[in-house]
Structure 1
């Protein structure tokens, strides 16, 4: 049975004035790590369709948006976070990869949901098989393991490990920075599909991913 985090009360908005926020932004500008969160699919590409007609493209976008909110409210804009899409639009894989290069990203995280049999469950992370960018691959694996630790250890998902693949989104971005693709559970599984119907659970997953990147 999936569980949520126990500390939602500490995720409320902070009562900080505009000027203090502006000063904090100026102080960290140029020092922030640039993180690109890539909500997979979008527009005419719904991705996987799960139980209760839940759509992969909606789940990943909701989690991505929550990551940006938590970065502001919980971590005081510790990272400069950009999304490859902010609405239900379809962006080409090549353009998503190019964004990592143009923004000089430090980390690229692509969000997806798995689909298989009703009994399949758990979270897995993919990194590219490249042998050319060894440094990026090593860091990618470390980030993947960290995200797995946060999401499975605190949210109750089964851990399916870090795996290697030649997915285009990994291939297009690993040349610029460490890159991982996170499969956030199986929406064809009743428990894991229902999990994402609750906004608090969307926030829990977003926080787990953000903490995984932060570690």
Structure 2
């Protein structure tokens, strides 16, 4: 696990061996940079028409016309689109931070690079407050502290980008913490933790983490994985519906329902249209000691008449259909790094005997969700299946992959596009999870 902590107050903008530090401007949760400074750096002319709220940028070869707060713009008589439109902040025109490199490369053949200017916080102390066996571990600093905590079994680490100041006092282990070692590296601090047992959970908060023991069978954290994303669209329906978008919509609704009805924490592997490798999705669940892993997908088939709902858990595929579905979902691995390769099928599915302890519970979780969804939505029940899904490979908790319906079936594609159906699907999945948890806890 690698932690890179960045407190962004400014960015270094560079072009053709010229550099300038610019303040980052924030508006409506988006980050911007002042346009005038960038065009001066790259040698482009810039005219602002205040009356029509229009900007003209030009050099000897190109002319671009942009209207403020409008995504569509004209570039050399061609219409193009911005994800984050130009806007006005404190009287100055601002360009979206994530638009800078692509905008000047696509329209003016100028390569503009952005580099984060990093501020390293000073760590004055680490406090441990014990209540019974529970422990609150807090980083004391005058700067804002953010941290990512990761555990495997009874061991974990906290890595913080910062430096320990002189006079720092090293705390003694307390509560469920058996051993603790704090190491200062050149530009970050690493806290190694050894717990008294594996039966614990943790809640990260601002600048601190609460570690507490829990009973076997308790569900404190669920990781929901919206399948595909970014450069990987997944299946595409006849109406142009992208599977990645439906997966994310249902996952967000499921998260909201779980958090509203229970005290269970929920983490989404992605909360936007971005690509994540299949192995990284499982790693998120493991590092956060998730109790359940739910991967949301939509199905597809060469036969447009194929329809229905099915849930999978990780085991060796028994039928040609199970192998076909797994092959389609596993195709996302082509977007991963070259080193991500399959070994033998047996090694792929059962790479560690410890993982087999979750197969029975994964099967049970799949059955609970399958029964509830088909009962609530009156959708064709295609049954519970098993196959070698790479996204479930390595999940050390009950884990299932849900196929919510067929985008290759026009009728089901229309349903999957519908917000009301997405809400009903999320509620039915929640009821299945709720049933599983109740049975698991006796």
Which sections of structure 1, spanning at least 5 residues, go unmatched? 1-24
1:211 alignment partner in structure 2: 431
Which structure ranks higher in relative contact order (CA pairs < 8 Å, sequence separation ≥ 6)? 1
Partners of 1:118 and 1:37 lie apart in 2 by 28
1:69 alignment partner in structure 2: 256
2:331 is equivalent to residue 144 of structure 1: no
Give the TM-score taking structure 1 as reference length: 0.81
Partners of 2:425 and 2:237 lie apart in 1 by 18
2:407 is equivalent to residue 182 of structure 1: no
- How far 1:71 sits from its partner (Å)? 2.0
Partners of 1:47 and 1:57 lie apart in 2 by 6
2:274 is equivalent to residue 89 of structure 1: yes
Partners of 1:191 and 1:90 lie apart in 2 by 28
Which sections of structure 2, spanning at least 5 residues, go unmatched? 1-202, 204-210, 316-348, 436-442
2:391 is equivalent to residue 165 of structure 1: no
SS in 2 for 1:85: coil
Picking from 189, 193, 202, the partner of 2:413 is 193
* Kept after mapping to 1: 8 A contact 2:405/2:416: no
CA deviations on 1:120-148 (whole Å, 9 max, x unpaired) are: 00111111115633331111011101111
SS in 2 for 1:51: coil
2:330 is equivalent to residue 110 of structure 1: no
SS in 2 for 1:137: helix
2:236 is equivalent to residue 39 of structure 1: no
Partners of 2:419 and 2:251 lie apart in 1 by 13
- How far 1:171 sits from its partner (Å)? 1.2
SS in 1 for 2:273: coil
SS in 2 for 1:97: helix
2:307 alignment partner in structure 1: 121
RMSD between aligned residues? 1.7
* Kept after mapping to 1: 8 A contact 2:224/2:294: yes
- How far 1:160 sits from its partner (Å)? 1.0
- How far 1:172 sits from its partner (Å)? 2.4
Larger radius of gyration: 2
SS in 1 for 2:379: coil
- How far 1:72 sits from its partner (Å)? 3.1
* More strand by percentage: 2
- How far 1:39 sits from its partner (Å)? 0.3
Partners of 2:381 and 2:265 lie apart in 1 by 29
Picking from 29, 53, 56, the partner of 2:240 is 53
SS in 2 for 1:162: strand
Partners of 1:147 and 1:194 lie apart in 2 by 22
- How far 1:99 sits from its partner (Å)? 0.7
Partners of 1:71 and 1:109 lie apart in 2 by 12
Partners of 1:147 and 1:193 lie apart in 2 by 21
| Residue correspondences, number | 184
SS in 1 for 2:235: coil
Partners of 1:141 and 1:72 lie apart in 2 by 24
Partners of 1:154 and 1:38 lie apart in 2 by 22
4+ residue runs of structure 1 moved beyond 4 angstroms? 29-32
Partners of 1:41 and 1:195 lie apart in 2 by 20
Partners of 2:256 and 2:314 lie apart in 1 by 29
